[in-house]
Structure 1
Amino acid sequence: MKCIALTNDGRFELRRPGSESEWECYHSIRERALWDKEMLKQFGPYDRDHPEQYGEDYAAMVLIRNGIVIGTMGMQDMGYHDAAHGQSHEIEFRAIAIEPACQGQGYGGIMLMMGESAANQKGYHRAGIWADSAVVLFYARNGFTHRPADMPVRLACPIPGTIPMTKRLDLGIAQNDGSVLIAAA
């Protein structure tokens, strides 16, 4: 999976890490942006070799802005979901993180749109996410809603207090101001 976006703020690329340096950035950003004192207390030190990050159904992704890694996300194939909402191929967005020095500049929204576009191009109809209560409004602004009770969660989240959210991807990607041109590569 790969996606390129051109914005007023530069060139963005969402893809798998392609070098040792990009893998180092991937782990460094995740550790600094996600692994706070509570995570450390609950799960111990960040594990760069955790097998979940290297499974066949999991794609570790980096967001590169003008040649510099500034964000990470995981994309995990959750298979097909058959419920009252119809059968759909689902992907789970995991561990979304932006370099702490780059937070608050809209890069998380760009990365999310690019992930949605890439997933849609690969045939996924729905995306799921476990949202920390502090960022639920961010995901809601980006089209995610609380996962209905008749749409069971496909992946358990071990982090207490997180909220399961979902979004249909087969309806198109809403863009706030039209300044983002997305092309799946």
Structure 2
Amino acid sequence: MGYELIEVRDPADWEAYHAIRRQELFEAKGRFGIYNPNHPDEYVPQAHPYLLKLDGVPIGTTRLDVREDGVAIFRMVAITASAQGRGYGRIMGQLVEDRARAFGVTTLYVNAAETALGFYHRTGWVDHAWDPAELVSIAVNATQMRKVI
């Protein structure tokens, strides 16, 4: 199997990126009509949107927001429903950690959905309140976590 983590640039990859996020993070949770593919946070210089492909097929997304203090935020993590539970989230996490290290990042933060807490704990993340102001909108019930890489 061939895994590829690409930084989203191509229009077809942007379409796949947004489709996965819209379906898995919004519509699958009953949040219809609120996903904004043109949200300004997607296009700031420190935002690095990634698409995980398996044998050329998009199966996962995330965005890595890199700060200047050696910290990055792992955002909007999603694996397609048909690919969940097969270890692809773990693979995407490892690939994103490699990218983060290349940016000089030593600490990652995430706002983890309740349904994903077991995954994050199993992959080395620890509960850590890092910015309560982040816990709004779709992250209102999230648990903040940290991972030193």
Tell me the TM-score normalised to structure 1 length: 0.74
In the alignment, the residues of structure 1 paired with residue 87 and residue 125 of structure 2 have an alpha-carbon distance, to the nearest angstrom, of 17
Q: CA deviation at 1:155?
A: 6.5
Q: CA deviation at 1:125?
A: 0.4
Contact 1:63 1:71 in 2 (8 A): yes
Q: CA deviation at 1:38?
A: 5.5
1:21 aligns with 2:12: yes
- Corresponding residue for residue 25 of structure 2: 34
Seen in structure 2, the aligned counterparts of structure 1 residues 133 and 23 have a Cα distance that, compared at 3 Å, is: same
Deviations 1:4-38 (A, max 9, x none): xxxxxx11111212321111100100001000375
In the alignment, the residues of structure 2 paired with residue 115 and residue 105 of structure 1 have an alpha-carbon distance, to the nearest angstrom, of 18
- The sequence identity of aligned pairs, in percent, is 28
- Corresponding residue for residue 168 of structure 1: 148
Structural mapping, 1:51-90, within 5 Å: 51-80=40-69, 89-90=70-71
Contact 2:107 2:147 in 1 (8 A): yes
- Corresponding residue for residue 101 of structure 2: 120
- Corresponding residue for residue 142 of structure 1: 123
Contact 1:78 1:154 in 2 (8 A): no
Q: Which has the larger radius of gyration?
A: 1
Between Structure 1 and Structure 2, how many residues are aligned?
A: 147
Partner of 1:33, secondary structure, is helix
Q: CA deviation at 1:133?
A: 1.2
CA RMSD of aligned residues (A): 1.8
In the alignment, the residues of structure 2 paired with residue 154 and residue 142 of structure 1 have an alpha-carbon distance, to the nearest angstrom, of 23
Letter in 2 for 1:24: E
Letter in 2 for 1:49: N
In the alignment, the residues of structure 2 paired with residue 53 and residue 146 of structure 1 have an alpha-carbon distance, to the nearest angstrom, of 26
Contact 2:66 2:103 in 1 (8 A): no
Higher relative contact order (CA 8 A, sep 6+): 1
Letter in 2 for 1:94: R
Letter in 1 for 2:62: M
